[in-house]
Amino acid sequence: MVSLEVEILGKKYRFRSDNPDKITECASHLNSLLDEITSKYGIIDGKDILVLAAMDLTDKLFQLTEESREMRHDMQQLTRQISAFFGEVLNK
């Protein structure tokens, strides 16, 4: 495990991780999102910025969860169709 420090909204946070590059990437993405929200809404209060960021990330999570559910459903249908096709071919 590696210990590293990242800065978010001007405050330093320490993390321990087996994948420090991933932590750095996540912090960078979060900082970009926070900067975007700050610029877009002119918000200065850190808590308000974080709440809006959390809402944005939660919305994206819900969208990805729904897309994943739909893809699983589509894959199940395709699997059934492929199985039916090969079942017909093998029974000839």
pLDDT tens digits for range 9-56: 999 999 999 999 999 999 999 999 999 999 998 888 989 999 999 999
Residue 5 scores a pLDDT above 80: yes
Domain boundaries, the chain: 2-90
pLDDT of residue 44: 83
Reduced to 3 states (helix: H, G, I; strand: E, B; else coil), residue 10 is: coil
pLDDT band of residue 89 (cuts 50, 70, 90) is confident
Q: How far apart are CA 51 and CA 38, in angstroms?
A: 12
Q: How far apart are CA 15 and CA 4, in angstroms?
A: 5
